[in-house]
């Protein structure tokens, strides 16, 4: 246990030493993502917005469901949070294999590659949040004391997303068929998360299983503190928090100890 704690402390200190490199690579990737695009950062708003319109038509006109709030607000909040994780996963997946020269020739913490994917997606998340604020104003949702819990929800979301990004980037480096399975698994994962409808609508047995998906209480946590004016459901959110923290520590250690094999498998 002491050895693991020492390793984690060393890894954190190393990230602090290389923080300028993390900033520069994040800036580079952010500029490259929207280079030669007409809409630029508008894409961070357009995709969840257009999906919200489509699913609002489906779930308010074709197959109406009760979500306890205006459906566009419910859907956009879920899609915005989901897109942050999904975008991070998608770019982290190839973050090592698309930077072969840096991986093989220069030493620095390789965790910077998936971390950059998360930070770039976090910028998109922040930009898209402006539309969520606009929707809240439109529907007359007022901030409440529960807003104080928002930084905690964001922190847990970041921890979980980063842990999965570390595992995905490493897995794709060693097993290239991971990228072929990724989109299918991501789609299934989305519909197994409370993004577009409450999990309770899937029946008691299925809901009992899917509610332990860490992203479900995280996304519901955003809706609770921002829209419902309540705090996240304590049991499930605490479980998601502990799971995210443990998974981040484990995935980071595994990633760090496998770094010496990266150059051989690029």
Residue given tokens 């956009």 in the structure block: 76
User: What rounded mean pLDDT belongs to the chain?
Assistant: 87
pLDDT grade for 4, boundaries at 50, 70 and 90:
low
Average pLDDT over residues 72-81: 94
**Distance (Å, rounded) from C-alpha 151 to C-alpha 178?**
33
pTM tops 0.75, yes or no: yes
What percent of the chain lies above the pLDDT cut of 90?
A: 47
**pLDDT exceeds 80 at position 57:** yes
pLDDT score recorded for residue 59: 86
pLDDT grade for 264, boundaries at 50, 70 and 90:
low
pLDDT score recorded for residue 204: 79
Q: Name which of 230, 225, 195 is nearest 213 in CA terms.
A: 195
pLDDT score recorded for residue 47: 81
Average pLDDT over residues 113-136: 93
Instruction: State pLDDT tens for residues 140-197.
Output: 999 899 999 999 999 999 999 999 999 999 999 888 888 888 989 998 999 889 899 8
Lowest average pLDDT, out of 37-46, 79-88, 146-155, 194-203, goes to 37-46
pLDDT grade for 102, boundaries at 50, 70 and 90:
confident
| 227: Cβ contacts below 8 Å, ≥ 6 apart | 69, 73, 74, 77, 136, 141
**pLDDT exceeds 90 at position 246:** yes
The answer to whether 241 and 158 have CB atoms below 8 angstroms apart is no
């Amino acid at each position: 246990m002491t050895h693991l704690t020492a390793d984690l402390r060393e890894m954190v200190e190393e990230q602090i030493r290389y923080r300028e490199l993390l900033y520069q690579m994040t800036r580079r990737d952010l500029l490259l993502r929207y280079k030669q695009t007409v809409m630029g950062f508008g894409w961070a708003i357009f995709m969840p917005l257009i999906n919200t319109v489509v699913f609002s038509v489906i779930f308010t006109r074709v197959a109406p469901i009760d979500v306890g709030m205006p459906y566009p607000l419910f859907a956009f909040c879920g899609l915005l949070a989901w897109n942050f994780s999904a975008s991070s996963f998608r770019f982290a997946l190839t973050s090592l294999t698309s930077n072969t020269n840096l991986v093989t020739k220069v030493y620095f913490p390789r965790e910077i590659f998936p971390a950059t994917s998360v930070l770039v997606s976090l910028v998109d998340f922040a930009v898209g949040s402006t539309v969520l604020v606009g929707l809240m104003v439109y529907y007359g949702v007022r901030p409440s004391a529960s807003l104080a819990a928002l930084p905690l929800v964001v922190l847990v979301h970041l921890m979980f997303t980063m842990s999965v990004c570390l595992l995905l980037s490493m897995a794709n480096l060693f097993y290239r068929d991971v990228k072929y399975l990724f989109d299918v698994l991501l789609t299934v994962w989305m519909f197994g998360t409370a993004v577009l409808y409450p999990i309770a609508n899937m029946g008691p047995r299925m809901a009992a299983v899917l509610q332990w998906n860490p992203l479900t209480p995280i996304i519901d946590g955003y809706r609770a503190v921002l829209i419902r004016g309540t705090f996240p459901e304590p049991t499930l959110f605490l479980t998601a928090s502990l799971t995210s923290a443990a998974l981040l520590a484990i995935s980071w250690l595994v990633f760090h100890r496998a770094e010496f094999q990266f150059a051989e498998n690029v």
